Amino acid sequence: MKYRGNILVAPLNWGLGHASRCIPIIKLLLKYKFNPIIASDGEALQLLVQEFPELNRIELPSYNISYSKNKHLLKFKMLIDSPKILKAIKAEKKMTSEIVKANNIIGIISDNRPGVFNKKIPSVFITHQLKVMSGSTTWLTTSWHQKMIKHFDQCWVPDYKGPMSLSGELSSLEIPKIKTKFIGTLSRFDRIICEETIDILILLSGPEPQRSMLEKKLTNSFKETTKTVVMVRGVIENESSTEQRGNMKVYNFMLAEHLETLINESAIVISRSGYTSVMDFARLKKNVFFIPTPGQFEQQYLAQHLEELRMAPFCQQEDFTIDKLEWLKDYEGVRELDYQYNFKKLFSLFEGE
């Protein structure tokens, strides 16, 4: 096949959300005869390699992002880690220049990796956070983030404008001197009308140690249940594996095709309120109970926003009990608007149009 050019696709390795929402972007690039080259690190890179084993891949410097066990210390830990993160951004910026030259890259799509851009070719930044919430320092984190985005030619926001926007205030700001395009929600899934044979599906994700802490809590919560419960741990390994914990079937991870089926077959989903997960559930029109990651302001806001839209209830991690799932009957489920974007026209940026 003759490709129209090589596009570097580089998601941040912070949980699996950034890599997951790059899956539909990569599929669309292939559809329009571009050749995506994957660039990331850690589990994000592992996931994309397993989804697209035929594509070339490049390992980028790791940010080594992790959470504190104490949610009140998260902001402090991020401050302590900031020199390490800035060093990684500087390293990936230098490496990007080398990658562009060595691989004849004609365009870049960076999902929240500020150092992956090149002034000589069209460079795009994907984010739903034009406003970065961090409590009393929101003004500072937002200002820094917008400064980073200004290095790029365009900013693609995976949402739509208006009162039913899934990201709400996070994407409502205007950024001077940068072209922002709302491209609609991104999901690797399609809705399938089928029998819901699974009572409760638990989807775990995000950085440690909070992922493991929620896994332990939910395992204990459901150990006496008679319902059909499935848990996907969100731990990327070389091979998928399963185990049985009482009445709960547990998978370490799932590739998109099997996970799509599993979510469609589930009556209720319990999940973090990460934005990529929100978009997936909206595409599949699911009834979801959210448990935001402790200390993560963005997930806390998204959970509250979706509750206000009467789409889904939520509670804090330490407050979860099975009986709270009864709240779901008062909510409509997570939904998206019928919004179609012209990706062929969007990708014309990489050909100078």
Is residue 192 a part of any domain in this protein? no
Q: Which domain holds residue 260?
A: 198-330
What residue spans of the chain are helical by DSSP H?
Answer: 17-31, 42-51, 74-103, 138-149, 210-221, 256-264, 275-284, 297-308, 343-347
How far, in Å, CA of 193 to CA of 191, rounded? 7
Residues 38 and 170 reside in one and the same domain: yes
- Which residues does 48 contact at the CB level (< 8 Å), separation at least 6? 9, 11, 19, 22, 23, 26, 38, 40, 55, 57
- Which residues does 33 contact at the CB level (< 8 Å), separation at least 6? 1, 2, 3, 4
How far, in Å, CA of 123 to CA of 108, rounded? 5
From 7, 207, 15, select the one nearest 110 (Cα to Cα): 7
Whether the upstream peptide bond of residue 209 has omega within 30° of 0, thus cis, is: yes
Are 32 and 26 spatial neighbours (Cβ–Cβ below 8 Å)? no
Residues 153 and 248 reside in one and the same domain: no
Q: Mean pLDDT per 10-residue run, the chain (353 residues)?
A: 89 91 97 97 94 97 69 54 81 96 98 97 97 86 90 96 93 84 95 95 90 96 94 87 92 92 98 97 98 94 98 98 98 92 94 77
4: which 2 tokens? 């129209």
pLDDT of residue 86: 85
Residues 171 and 206 reside in one and the same domain: no
At 128, which amino acid appears? H
The count of structural domains within the chain is 2
Question: What CATH number is associated with residue 107?
Answer: 3.40.50.2000
Looking up tokens 């580089």 gives 10
Residues 206 and 148 reside in one and the same domain: no
In degrees and rounded to multiples of 5, residue 252 shows phi and psi of: -75, -40
Residues 275 and 173 reside in one and the same domain: no
Is residue 176 a part of any domain in this protein? yes
pLDDT of residue 256: 87
End-to-end CA distance of the chain: 23
- Which residues does 86 contact at the CB level (< 8 Å), separation at least 6? none
Is residue 132 a part of any domain in this protein? yes
Residues 145 and 202 reside in one and the same domain: no
Residues 77 and 179 reside in one and the same domain: yes
Residues 157 and 103 reside in one and the same domain: yes
Residues 27 and 171 reside in one and the same domain: yes
Residues 176 and 247 reside in one and the same domain: no
- Could you tell me the CA-to-CA distances from 92 to 115, 146, 157, 177, 289 in Å, in that order? 5, 19, 23, 24, 37
Is residue 1 a part of any domain in this protein? no
Q: What region does 14 belong to: left with phi over 0, alpha with psi -120 to 50, or beta?
A: beta
Is residue 266 a part of any domain in this protein? yes
pLDDT of residue 79: 61
Is residue 318 a part of any domain in this protein? yes
Are 204 and 214 spatial neighbours (Cβ–Cβ below 8 Å)? yes
Chain mean position to CA 125? 14
From 69, 16, 6, 13, select the one nearest 274 (Cα to Cα): 16
- Which residues does 75 contact at the CB level (< 8 Å), separation at least 6? 134, 135, 137, 295
Are 253 and 234 spatial neighbours (Cβ–Cβ below 8 Å)? yes
pLDDT of residue 76: 52
How far, in Å, CA of 155 to CA of 189, rounded? 23
For residue 223, the tally of other CB atoms under 10 A from its CB is: 12
- Could you tell me the CA-to-CA distances from 211 to 214, 234, 235, 271 in Å, in that order? 5, 8, 9, 11
What residue spans of 222-274 are helical by DSSP H?
Answer: 256-264
Residues 53 and 132 reside in one and the same domain: yes
Is residue 100 a part of any domain in this protein? yes
pLDDT of residue 65: 65
Residues 33 and 181 reside in one and the same domain: yes
